Amino acid sequence: MTLLGKFFTGLIFLLSVIFFSLAVAVNASHINWKDRADNFKKSATDAEARNQQLTSLLEEMKTELAIEQYARKSALASLQTQLAQAQGDLQMQEATLAALQSAHTALVQTEQNTQVELRARTTDNELLREQFKQAKEDRNQIFQRLVAAKDEYNRLQGDHKTLLDRERQLAMDYTAAKEKLDVLDISPDTELQAPNVNGEVLAVASNGTVVISLGRDDGMRSGFTLEVHREGQYLGRLKVRRVEANQSVAEVLTSHQKGYIRAGDRIDTRLF
């Protein structure tokens, strides 16, 4: 077999395989067109019935939609009316709000002024309270001073009465003493003579007074005069001012002083 024969043989074999595959495929894809046409007709009938149902349902829905649209239009008109009323109410409320805000601003300003006035009044009240407290304390002090002054006045009245009684008694004593002094021929210028006693100077003070060893028990009395000397030297004269039981305080009479007086100097009522 030549090469060309081999080629044709192979080509025939290949074409046989292709035709065989086509035959198998055609056989596998064979359809019963009558059954399929019946099925299509039934489907078309069902589809027409379904179409009629859907058309009827569509008409009903159109009717309901028309009713719904009418109702919605009515509701919309009502809502528009309510909206207009609400807008009018809103404008009124806005006007009222503006008035209230203005009134609130005025009230805030009034409250601020009131707070300022209140603080000022509070300060004034605190000042008045302090002044009242101080006045009350002053009144209490004045009252205490008044009570003390009244007590002092009562005491002074008692002292005055006592002094008046004492004055009357002293006047009576003075009259009686003057009568006795007149009888004894003693005047205020007459120097009183102490009894004939002697003693010594115990201490000398810087104020011109001395303490002597003679007292009430020795017959000393206020106003008596005494002579001071040391080893026969005359030093001066003393006048008794205060008398105690066993000693006295006497004043150095500078008009009679002849020397410096010191503790231990001798005292006599009379020199001769």
Q: Is the pLDDT of residue 47 over 80?
A: no
Domain extent for 226? 191-268
Name the nearest CA neighbour of 213 among 267, 177, 257, 176.
Answer: 267
Instruction: Please report, for the domain that includes residue 232, its CATH number.
Output: 2.40.10.340
Within a domain: 195: yes
pLDDT tens, residue by residue, 80-123: 888 888 888 888 888 888 888 888 888 888 888 888 888 888 88
Within a domain: 241: yes
Within a domain: 207: yes
pLDDT tens, residue by residue, 209-218: 999 999 998 8
Amino acid symbol at 49: A
Q: pTM of the entire structure? A: 0.35
Do the beta carbons of residue 221 and residue 192 sit within 8 Å? yes
Q: How far apart, in whole angstroms, are the C-alpha atoms of residue 230 and residue 258?
A: 11
Q: Which segment of 32-36, 74-78, 109-113, 156-160 scores lowest on mean pLDDT?
A: 32-36
Mean pLDDT of the chain: 82
Q: Which segment of 4-18, 27-41, 53-67, 139-153 scores lowest on mean pLDDT?
A: 27-41
Domain count along the chain: 1
Within a domain: 68: no
Within a domain: 65: no
Task: Supply 73's token pair.
Answer: 């239009």
What does DSSP assign to residue 218? G
Do the beta carbons of residue 248 and residue 215 sit within 8 Å? yes
Q: Is the pLDDT of residue 1 over 60?
A: no
Q: How far apart, in whole angstroms, are the C-alpha atoms of residue 142 and residue 136?
A: 10
Within a domain: 43: no
Q: Which segment of 16-30, 64-78, 164-178, 250-264 scores lowest on mean pLDDT?
A: 16-30
